[in-house]
């Protein structure tokens, strides 16, 4: 399988392609602001199925495909019955005969991998237990809009669980020469294999990976503080236990005071106000970029569609 024909993990795309995609996203954003819509995907369709809930991803892929002149089709995973009603292989082979691409949110990363392996159309990972590449591209766009094209030497400090979003942001940082800092309670770090995969890129591009178990140590040199839920979709059973560990890992005014004065905050959303981030930070739109990043999901994903659908 040629992994560059899909977006299964950001790791599969090189820095040049990531930057090119972000440039397309910035151009598409300007076009939308000028009410310019293209017809490049006229007659084209993407099939979308989401095993987990979504507001941003499900809306932006549908709006984005429509703005490009194509049509999204929302499929119900329960109705499809993956591995119950039929095999992933047969689902991929049939869908490939009808749609020009697939956008899939799932639990196991292996599902997007298998759909790509067995089908003949591009597969886009719209979040799995392991990765969220579309979120990372939207952050890349947001940071380039803020700091300019060369992000080398910038530092993303992720305050929270070493989860799917953290994994994809770490890859973004490694590929673009940024530093990635994780602050989490002991035992909630990213898997060592995920970190090791990024090390050659950190080394080559001049960035570094660090992990702290005290959030105060992590923010001193940050350009962006990143927040996400402590309890990801599918982990609801661990909610009470996780909350006790994560209480000190809240982004609030006190923590922000320890960061450089130019430092901004963002969140992939949905946010649990009062838990991983306070109302005070969420409502401070001078420093909180999360709604800009949410808007950029639309543009970044349209750019991904332009890169993959032919
Ligand atoms: N950030 C994000 O992916 O949001 P949704 O879960 O609402 O799609
Ligand atoms: N880490 C979160 C991201 C939500 C967009 C989750 O997987 O639920």
User: How far does the centroid of ligand 2 lie from the alpha carbon of residue 45, in Å?
Assistant: 26
- The mean pLDDT of 223-244, rounded to a whole number, is 96
- The mean pLDDT of 231-240, rounded to a whole number, is 96
Residues 180 and 155: their CA atoms lie apart, in Å, by 6
Cβ of 163 less than 6 Å from ligand 2: yes
Count of other CB atoms within 10 angstroms of residue 139 = 26
In this structure, which residue's CA is closest to atom 6 in ligand 1? 54
- The mean pLDDT of 225-244, rounded to a whole number, is 96
Q: Taking the chain, what is the end-to-end CA distance rounded to the nearest angstrom?
A: 17
Specify whether 297 is catalytic.
Answer: yes
Look up residue 179 and give its two tokens.
């530093």
Residues 121 and 194: their CA atoms lie apart, in Å, by 27
Q: What are the Cα distances from residue 125, in Å, to 3, 6, 22, 40? A: 12, 8, 17, 22
Distance of CA 116 to the CA centre of its chain: 19
In this structure, which residue's CA is closest to atom 6 in ligand 2? 232
Mean pLDDT value across the chain = 97
Per-residue pLDDT reduced to its tens digit, 131-179: 999 999 999 999 999 999 999 999 999 999 999 999 999 999 999 999 9
Inter-axis angle of helices 290-308 and 133-147, nearest 10: 110
User: How far does the centroid of ligand 2 lie from the alpha carbon of residue 205, in Å?
Assistant: 28
Specify whether 267 is catalytic.
Answer: no
Q: Is the dihedral of CA 163, 117, 72, 42 positive or negative?
A: positive
Q: Phi then psi for 251, rounded to 5 degrees?
A: -85, 115
Ligand 1: residue of 56, 59, 60 to mutate (most ligand atoms within 8 A of CB) is 56
Give, for 267, the enclosing helix (H) or strand (E). strand 264-267
Nearest 5 degrees, angle CA 300-CA 302-CA 182? 25
Give, for 90, the enclosing helix (H) or strand (E). helix 88-98
- The mean pLDDT of 194-199, rounded to a whole number, is 98
Percent of the chain topping pLDDT 70: 100
Closest CA to 130 of 270, 292, 250, 9: 9
Ligand 1: residue of 52, 53, 54, 131 to mutate (most ligand atoms within 8 A of CB) is 54
Specify whether 76 is catalytic.
Answer: no
Residue 310 is predicted with a pLDDT of 82
Residue 309 is predicted with a pLDDT of 97
């Amino acid at each position: 399988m040629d992994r560059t024909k899909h977006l299964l993990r950001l790791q599969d795309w090189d820095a040049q392609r990531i930057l090119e995609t972000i440039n397309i996203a910035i151009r598409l954003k300007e076009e939308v602001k000028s009410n310019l819509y293209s017809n490049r995907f006229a007659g084209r369709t993407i099939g979308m199925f989401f095993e987990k809930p979504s507001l941003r991803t499900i809306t932006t892929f549908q709006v984005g495909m429509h703005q490009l002149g194509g049509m999204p089709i929302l499929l119900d995973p329960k109705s499809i019955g993956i591995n119950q009603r039929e095999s992933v292989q047969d689902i991929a082979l049939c869908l490939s005969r009808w749609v020009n691409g697939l956008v899939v949110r799932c639990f196991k990363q292996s599902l997007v991998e298998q759909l790509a392996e067995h089908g003949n159309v591009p597969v886009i990972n719209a979040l799995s237990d392991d990765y969220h590449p579309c979120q990372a591209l939207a952050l890349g766009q947001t940071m380039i809009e803020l700091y300019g094209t060369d992000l080398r030497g910038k530092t993303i400090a992720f305050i929270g669980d070493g989860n799917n979003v953290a994994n994809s942001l770490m890859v973004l940082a490694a590929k673009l020469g940024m530093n990635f800092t994780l602050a989490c309670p002991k035992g909630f770090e990213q898997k060592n294999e995920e970190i090791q995969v990024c090390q050659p890129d950190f080394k080559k591009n001049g960035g570094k990976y660090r992990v702290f178990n005290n959030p105060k140590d992590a923010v001193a040199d940050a350009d962006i503080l990143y927040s996400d839920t402590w309890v990801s979709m599918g982990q609801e059973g661990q909610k009470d236990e996780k909350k006790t560990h994560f209480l000190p890992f809240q982004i609030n005014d006190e923590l922000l005071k320890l960061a450089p004065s130019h430092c901004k905050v963002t969140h992939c959303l949905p946010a649990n106000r009062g838990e991983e981030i306070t109302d005070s930070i969420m409502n401070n739109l001078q420093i909180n970029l999360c709604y800009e990043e949410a808007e950029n999901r639309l543009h970044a994903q349209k750019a991904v569609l332009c890169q993959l659908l032919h």
